[in-house]
Structure 1
Amino acid sequence: MVEMVIEQRRRSLGGGFEVGRVLPFARRRMVGPFIFFDHMGPLDLAAGVDRSVDVRPHPHIGLSTVTYLFAGEMVHRDSIGCTQAIRPREVNWMTAGSGITHSERFERARAVGDHLHGIQAWVALPKEFEETDPAFSHHAGSDLPQWSGGGVEGRLIAGSAYGLTAGVATHSPLFYAHLDMQAGAVAEIPSGHAERALYLATGAAEVGGQRYAAGQMLVLGAGDSRMRALEPTSAMVLGGEPVGERFIYWNFVSSSKERLAQAAADWEAGRMKLPDADDQEFIPLPDGPRPDAPAMS
């Protein structure tokens, strides 16, 4: 059963780079531990594109970022010394914990042009891990189990589902998978978790006798669920166990508003280390209400 449909809302990240913001949503802030979900692109970047399209160094606390591309390439650099290009069907998993800074640059696009399309999600950390040491890992190949059959090609990004377990280390029970489906193919949505959702990145699908299209997230109730692709479709299925109330301010996530205020003060005062390989610029703290005000979408 579909409990709610969330439509992506277009948001500008600057420099002509737009995303489709799905989570958080005013009436549904999280699905399991997933607290943020952005659909990047699809976007054509011409050779020589200006650096203003890049995501300059910025901070995070209290979460893991999960970057997964359908097309294109981005280069990640962070304050714990990691530099890693991410390419289609690979995963960059960055755990911010007590605090990390990173940048995301489109260097391939500047050199030869590129077509960018992907998803970035944030997973809120359980309270006992909110202040864990920051970490970064890159995953491809056997770390992301694959399966195919009946017109469905699947790749497990994180967690356990479809009888498989991904090589990504997570901090709470969850699943996250990418399904490429031919027209007419049917796929089950994993059950066994308190909260689940389905996001249509491309194409269209039928769930419970109703047609849904690209750019929609379907929040699912308990019980068995399946989708039938009405045309070639790319979908993300996700869910897990709730981790409790979380507050968001800018790029920070925490169970404590006081911790958000401290992170904002640390960033503004320059107390959060920039990436060694990318320390010449940064994104300043945004104008507007500070984290002692109610959290906003």
Structure 2
Amino acid sequence: MKQGISTHVFLAQRLTPGLLDALTRGGATAVEVFAARHHFDYADRGAVRELANWFRSNNVDASLHMPLFSSDEDSNWSRHTAPVINLIDLNKSTRIEAMDEVKRALESAEQIPFRSCVIHLGLKGDRWNTRALDDSMTAIEHLKAFSSPLGMQLLLENLNNEVATPAHLVEIVRAGHFDNVGFCLDTGHANLVEPQPETRDQEAKDGIAQAFEDFGDRITELHLHDNLGNRPENGKDEHLWPGSGTIDWDSVAKRIAALKQPPVGILEIAHELGEDMKQIETEFRAAWKKLGVVAQ
């Protein structure tokens, strides 16, 4: 399994080659670039060229995470800014604006050798219904037509809304016959899902076990981070280093090992933890040790 990390750990800062160097010193062989204009300005040709030169000079796989903020919100970004880009918004003009912003980020693949892009469908509170299914298929069709010539695969990520559950994402892909669309299993999001109760025919499963089962062998990428689970006093997507929350990482490691094709593992860690470069390198290696992998 490729050992990677998201630049989300540096989200409050402008992304520079020096920060990418710090990630590779920790052992990363894959980097997911988080598309936020204050961090990676994908609309700035100079910023795109700078990252393109770095990736072409280093033996590191590149992937992209779609933007979650519009350009207006991004200019006033803080760690309390809520995502606003919604590809399946009820308002058609809002959906079109969201699609255009994601396409602007995808255009950076003309220079940066991104292999994939992680896609979010919906925001917190979005409901699963026929309209959501249709709008999801329309969004994927448009983005797929735009990204495929650039050599990018779209990866749908499980979220904590009704639309982007693993089971519903699989249904969207099947209904749209999107054979070349993959999945990104986010462990932190899955850990916030209420466990399914035990039945006569089936044992109880937590959210992570159910996500692995629903996605099956179409998992292309993993977002690896921890939290304190779905306790009433918590329920937060904290993006902690593995081992700092309630996830059973031994179980996760076994499920990863059982996949037919090893996915890319991306540590997606909170940017407000206040760690310095050396601490990030140390935590990176410790995280992979928990997953039974020695960081390179």
Do the structures match in fold with TM over 0.5?
Answer: no
* Larger strand fraction of residues: 1
* Larger helix fraction of residues: 2
